[in-house]
């Protein structure tokens, strides 16, 4: 009897540990489910749904072709746009023939745009096949097609695989796939998919106009993520603004036929950068042109081949020629 009691006592810690392990496993599973549900509500997805009004398959599995978390996006090269790169679902490959049944959805399945060109009640959208001058470098030999949807101004980029390059290049060359107001989706589904039944679609990117998604950017991005993407946006905006200044200065110098030496242009740009003229405004343009005119009137400031000496001289020359009114302009900029 005593030996039996001892055996049970010895087992109690093991039973308790097993129960704890099971509780931990159950908790981890619940957490994973909750995280998946949370992520689903934050995703941008391309779903397949046939618009036939039939609810017979309402409990069937949702077909997702591509998706990504909204907050994993970033400001596009045009910082007025928010770009989300989709991850292709390798288990669900979209046939080109099924393109009409695809929808861009958010929040777990709420449609933002549809690729069905046959339903006149759908908001207007247009599409085009991208030639070499418009391709985004993500396509290789696949055909790249872009769509723009109203009224929220959403863009979608897809790749079509299985349509030979020489064939789609010939279509672009002939430029008649949208004749008689034929929609590009109609052409792709009725013509290309019929000729190449094994052709498939890869959904690459969804892009939103910032003006339409301010609330989502504020609420869905974590504080840390906001800090990262805004810093990247501000950096690229500063680079773009400075490039506009560079192009303005270089084009003006070229048009005037003055200060043609590379180090001279670089010195002028260096001084403008140091003095804070990094963006084009009406006031800044006036200061820049007056400074260049002053340098033109006294080209001797660039006589030295020593760039450091030239830099020091031009800095001094800028101080002498700019005057207090230009310093005021600088403060405004």
Quote the strand ranges of the chain, DSSP E: 43-48, 63-69, 74-75, 81-85, 87-88, 94-95, 102-106, 110-114, 125-129, 143-149, 154-161, 200-209
At 101-132, the pLDDT tens digits run 999 999 888 889 999 998 888 888 999 998 87
At 194-252, the pLDDT tens digits run 999 999 999 999 999 998 888 888 888 889 999 999 999 999 999 999 999 999 998 88
Pairwise CA distance, residues 299 & 164, whole Å? 60
pLDDT at 298: 66
Residue 328 makes CB contacts below 8 A (sequence gap 6+) with none
The percentage of the chain sitting over the pLDDT mark of 70, rounded to a whole number, equals 71
pLDDT at 99: 96
Q: In angstroms, how far apart are the furthest CA atoms of the chain?
A: 114
Q: Per-residue pLDDT averaged across 149-153, rounded?
A: 83
Q: Please report how the helices 282-297 and 307-332 are oriented relative to each other, as an axis angle in degrees rounded to 10.
A: 150
The tally of CA atoms less than 13 A away on the side-chain side of residue 76 is: 15
The tokens of 324 are what?
Answer: 């207090």
At 245-268, the pLDDT tens digits run 999 998 888 887 765 566 677 778
With beta carbons less than 8 A apart as the criterion, state whether 249 and 272 touch: yes
- Say yes or no to pLDDT of 2 above 70: no
pLDDT at 191: 93
Q: Does the predicted model carry a pTM greater than 0.75?
A: no
Q: Locate tokens 């959403």: which residue?
A: 154
pLDDT at 1: 47
SS3 at position 53: coil
- Say yes or no to pLDDT of 35 above 70: no
The tokens of 241 are what?
Answer: 């603004």
What DSSP letter does each residue of 19-39 carry, written as one string? HHHHHHHHHHHHHHHHHHHHH
């Amino acid at each position: 009897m005593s030996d039996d009691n001892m055996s049970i006592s010895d087992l109690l810690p093991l039973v308790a540990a097993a129960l704890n392990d099971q509780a931990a496993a159950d908790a981890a599973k619940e957490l994973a489910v909750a995280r998946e549900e949370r992520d689903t509500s934050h995703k941008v997805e391309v779903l397949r749904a046939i618009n036939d009004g039939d609810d017979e398959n309402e409990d069937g599995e949702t077909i997702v072709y591509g998706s990504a978390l909204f907050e994993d996006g970033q400001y596009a090269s045009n910082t007025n746009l928010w770009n989300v790169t989709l991850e292709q679902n390798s288990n669900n490959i979209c046939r080109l023939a099924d393109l009409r049944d695809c929808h861009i959805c958010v929040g777990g399945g709420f449609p933002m745009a549809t690729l069905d060109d046959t339903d006149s009640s759908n908001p207007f959208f247009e599409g085009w096949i991208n030639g070499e001058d418009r391709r985004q470098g993500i396509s290789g030999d696949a055909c790249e097609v872009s769509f723009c949807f109203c009224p929220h101004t959403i863009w979608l980029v897809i790749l079509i695989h299985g349509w030979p390059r020489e064939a789609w290049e010939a279509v672009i060359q002939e430029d008649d796939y949208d004749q008689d107001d034929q929609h590009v989706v109609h052409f792709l589904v009725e013509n290309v998919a019929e000729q190449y039944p094994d052709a498939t679609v890869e959904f690459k990117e969804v892009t939103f106009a910032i003006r339409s998604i301010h609330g989502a950017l504020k609420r869905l991005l974590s504080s840390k993520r906001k800090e990262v993407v805004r810093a990247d946006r501000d950096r690229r905006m500063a680079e773009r603004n400075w490039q506009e200044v560079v192009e303005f200065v270089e084009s003006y110098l070229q048009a005037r036929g003055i200060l043609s030496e590379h180090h001279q242009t670089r010195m002028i740009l260096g001084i403008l950068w140091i003095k804070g003229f990094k963006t084009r405004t009406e006031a800044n343009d006036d200061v820049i042109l007056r400074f260049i005119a002053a340098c033109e009137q006294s080209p001797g400031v660039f006589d030295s081949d020593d760039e450091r000496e030239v830099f020091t001289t031009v800095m001094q020359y800028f101080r002498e020629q700019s005057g207090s009114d230009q310093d005021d302009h600088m403060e405004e900029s």
